[in-house]
Amino acid sequence: MCRTTDLRQAVLARNDDSAQALRAELTARGAIAVNMLSSPGSGKTALLESELALARERGVPVAALTADLATENDAKRLARAGVPVRQVLTDGLCHIEAVMLRGYVAGWLPARTQLLFVENVGNLVCPAAYDLGESLRVTLVSVTEGEDKPLKYPGAFGLANLVVLTKTDIAAAVGFDQETFLGNVARVNPGVEVVFTSARSGQGIGVLLERALAVRDGAEVHRPVMTRTATHDHAHSATGHRSPSLTIQHHGHGHDHDHGDHTHAHDQQSPPAPASAAPHPDHDALPHSHRYDHPTVDRW
């Protein structure tokens, strides 16, 4: 004997709930999260380094959380901007989910923070499916990746509130066809703004910060066609993203990777790291106000 039950449940309902809760918590404290998606090597970290440094210069309280499968390299780079940075190591997981982010934000994010930049795992497939509670989703792509990237990864580009093109300083050298690229973006996400940037030349630096601050101050974000859905079975987020439920178990949650419980107050300065811990060649060229800070590192 069998019986059938109509469930009609969204598979990702639990993630959606966590995302909504995190979005509400951040909004209540005057902050928003910015979810940054791209393939590996597209220049997310370089752009973010510039944006964080600019935010610090302007006195805008920002923080960044960066997710990778392994290494603390990105957090070390970002921490040089002198803002609170947290590294999350996924130990192989291809994306982060809202409940994970919520767990890491709790008790860490400084009270004054206005913008939390989340550098997602470098991957244009899986992270696209997960609402993290962000109010601005940004998909980045470099000129070296080909004009058809938006067509190959319609989820990542179709769900973005903002698209950022990176490494524009080498566009001519790699024969980047800007018109075709913009046409492809418009096909999967008509109406979305595309920002041209180069961390090296400085083109477009500060635009991401401006857009994020505008959203934080209540500006309306672009709503992609793919998020204007006709399903009514669960709540929609401010950005129209829907996220999945988290059921993956985390191991060693909160493990602090030799840095003790060092947290990063906005103005905190750490002594310069020993040479062996300073992987970036131009470390010594940094002004003292941007000295290397140990990021917080977590594993699951």
Partner 1 sequence: MHEMSIAAAVVEQVGRVALQRGATAVTTVRLDVGELAGVVPRALDFCFALACEGTALEGAALETRTVPARARCGPCDVEWHPGMPPDLVCPRCGGARAELRAGRELHIRDVEWADRPLHTHG
Q: Which residues of this chain interact with partner 1, rule CB under 8 A? A: 1-15, 93-95, 97, 125-126, 128-130, 150-152, 154-155, 158, 186-191, 225-231, 233, 242, 244-248
CB 132, min distance to partner 1, A: 14
CB 2, min distance to partner 1, A: 5
Which of 118, 188 has the CB closer to partner 1?
A: 188
Q: Which residues contact 282 (CB under 8 A, 6 or more apart)?
A: none
Q: Which residues contact 273 (CB under 8 A, 6 or more apart)?
A: 292, 294
Residue type, 172: A
Which of 170, 194 has the CB closer to partner 1?
A: 194
Which of 10, 53 has the CB closer to partner 1?
A: 10
Q: Are 21 and 144 in contact (CB under 8 A)?
A: no
Which of 36, 109 has the CB closer to partner 1?
A: 36
CB 153, min distance to partner 1, A: 9
Determine how many CB atoms are found less than 10 A away from the CB of residue 242.
24
CB 112, min distance to partner 1, A: 34
CB 133, min distance to partner 1, A: 17
Which of 14, 167 has the CB closer to partner 1?
A: 14
Which of 29, 234 has the CB closer to partner 1?
A: 234
Which of 109, 185 has the CB closer to partner 1?
A: 185
Q: For 43, which DSSP code?
A: S
For 55-118, the DSSP string reads HHHTT--EEEEEEESS-SHHHHHHHTTSS-EEEEE-TT-SS--HHHHHHHHTTTS-TT--EEEE
Collapse the DSSP code of 25 into the 3-class scheme (helix H, G, I; strand E, B; otherwise coil) and give the result: helix
Q: Are 122 and 39 in contact (CB under 8 A)?
A: yes
CB 67, min distance to partner 1, A: 14
Q: Which residues contact 270 (CB under 8 A, 6 or more apart)?
A: 262, 291, 292, 293, 294
CB 179, min distance to partner 1, A: 16
CB 126, min distance to partner 1, A: 4
Q: Are 84 and 33 in contact (CB under 8 A)?
A: no
CA 41 to CA 21: how far, in whole Å?
Answer: 31
Q: Which helix (H) or strand (E) holds 136?
A: strand 136-142
Taking the alpha carbons at both ends of the chain, their separation in whole angstroms is 42
Which of 2, 111 has the CB closer to partner 1?
A: 2
